[in-house]
Structure 1
């Protein structure tokens, strides 16, 4: 079982539009409504693969109730922490050329009692988990050290933990040695405080995160591929993508694929790449099923192209 923790979940509405023009009335060509939040997306991808997952998340108001209903329809077990605030609603505008514009609401502020209840709920659910995936931004009220506390409690209970967050929350959690962290290129550059121009720059940054405490780093480099850096070595993975429809949740799908395949080594990286490539070719935040995966399009190698210039350098 893969347990996911999403401190700041959302109700996500995605509209497909021909193009985005300010000040104009835009007719959507398609729309979707999905339960959102990075950990929620991981659970959705795990469930799409036919694996058991439990989603722990604070929920409040009508949007929170709808998030729980939408997850139940997808055979995802929800352990809700009821809060006084209202779960946020986000909007995404997906253009036909693959450009995505997102409007993310800040979300509710959790009280001290709600924060402690969330931690306790994670502890109660963790004994049955093969992995605990803690993902996304922290809502108002939670200190940057909150994820570090989750990692410490998870390890005390014998669980393995994957962390996908950024900024100070990531840096604080590294001291508790999460089993794997999954930054994207921007988050990786922010963590080490310098720009990334090549794949080699990303490898060095990932190695620094390991020196800070991460046991493994699964780094998403967007169209440039993915890196896995751990105690056994460094691998680079990429995949052929025919058409990009939406990158919403692609990184979350990658993390799910990595954990489904065991959470370590080149085989898990290949699964992560396949899931991420499949996700960007689907509309909105649709998570891929096994039928969507094209493993023949995936390449994983220990011969990392360190001199390759990133298509989208991060400054």
Structure 2
């Protein structure tokens, strides 16, 4: 079982808004809602592929009940503490107005106290014994310690569990200091954290504390560095419907590849196929197994030389 940790889940709302007029009433043409948050996307992708998946998240209010129920309707097992307040909603607007298209608005979400974090940690430790691997993804609620991921990673490391991490900012900085098995970051996060988006320079810096690095550069695809090999993987997608959650699904594919003991090339192939599959439909942060199966043979991989 792969345990996915999502401290800050959300309701992801896809809304069609023809235009936006300041100071006036603006009507949404249609909207669809999906369970969201980076770790939620990871857990759902693993479950859709057919592997054992469990989601640990912090649930708050009616929004939390909705997200939890939506995940469980898809057969995903969920655990986690309850928080006061409401889990956030994240809106992505589609529009004929190019300046508005794919604009995102995010609600603040609930607050996590030290007591709530202790509750989450206790549940994490209970689940850890059953997990073959852990994926930790996304932001934390307000009030959380900047070392929250680091503390969970320390517990996982002490119990011999590999952790795949996808986060940014202070949480990433502290987590890296602890040492983590795997890390996914995009070129913007690499620039922010490493001071460069150059693949080779970023890899050199990150490998001081990280064994596996999955660095994504948009249309340029995935660069995966692991066990002394650097693999580039990419695939051409004819029509991109939405990129929301692509990186999360890619993280799920990489984690699955590692958990199955695949070669570095096959791990990269899984990651690229999962990420690309998420682009093909309007379902935010979700994949369909049939899409991944069709894309896997189309992935073009190439082994690169470290600079």
* Partner SS state of residue 35, structure 1: strand
Aligned twin of 2:202: 205
2:224 maps to 1:247: no
Residue deviations 1:176-211 (CA, integer Å, cap 9, x gap)? 2211010111111101124x3xxxx12311221112
2:220 to 224, 229, 248: 224
Count of residues in Structure 1 that have an aligned counterpart in Structure 2:
298
Instruction: Quote how far apart the aligned CAs of 1:303 are.
Output: 3.0
Instruction: Quote how far apart the aligned CAs of 1:80 are.
Output: 2.4
1:132 to 131, 134, 138: 134
Assess, with a 3 A threshold, how the Cα gap between structure 1 residues 266 and 99 changes in structure 2: closer, same or farther: farther
2:170 maps to 1:168: yes
Instruction: Quote how far apart the aligned CAs of 1:276 are.
Output: 0.8
Instruction: Quote how far apart the aligned CAs of 1:51 are.
Output: 1.5
Aligned twin of 1:66: 66
Q: How is 1:270-285 mapped onto 2 (pairs within 5 angstroms)? A: 270-285=269-284
Aligned twin of 2:110: 108
Aligned twin of 2:78: 78
Instruction: Quote how far apart the aligned CAs of 1:113 are.
Output: 0.5
Assess, with a 3 A threshold, how the Cα gap between structure 1 residues 99 and 52 changes in structure 2: closer, same or farther: farther
Assess, with a 3 A threshold, how the Cα gap between structure 1 residues 127 and 56 changes in structure 2: closer, same or farther: same
Assess, with a 3 A threshold, how the Cα gap between structure 1 residues 100 and 40 changes in structure 2: closer, same or farther: same
Aligned twin of 1:261: 257
TM-score, scaled to structure 2: 0.91
Instruction: Quote how far apart the aligned CAs of 1:16 are.
Output: 4.2
Question: Is the contact between residue 223 and residue 233 of structure 2 (CA under 8 Å) also seen in structure 1?
Answer: yes
Q: Which runs of 5+ in 2 are unaligned?
A: none
Distance 1:40 1:20 in 2: 30
* Partner SS state of residue 185, structure 2: coil
Aligned-residue CA RMSD (Å): 2.1
Distance 2:239 2:95 in 1: 13
2:88 maps to 1:88: yes
Q: Which runs of 5+ in 1 are unaligned?
A: 307-315
Aligned twin of 1:37: 37
* Partner SS state of residue 66, structure 1: helix
Question: Is the contact between residue 12 and residue 33 of structure 2 (CA under 8 Å) also seen in structure 1?
Answer: yes
Distance 2:181 2:112 in 1: 27
Question: Is the contact between residue 253 and residue 272 of structure 1 (CA under 8 Å) also seen in structure 2?
Answer: yes
Aligned twin of 1:302: 303
Residue deviations 1:147-181 (CA, integer Å, cap 9, x gap)? 11111001111211110000121111112221101
Distance 1:13 1:258 in 2: 27
TM-score, scaled to structure 1: 0.89
Distance 2:184 2:124 in 1: 20
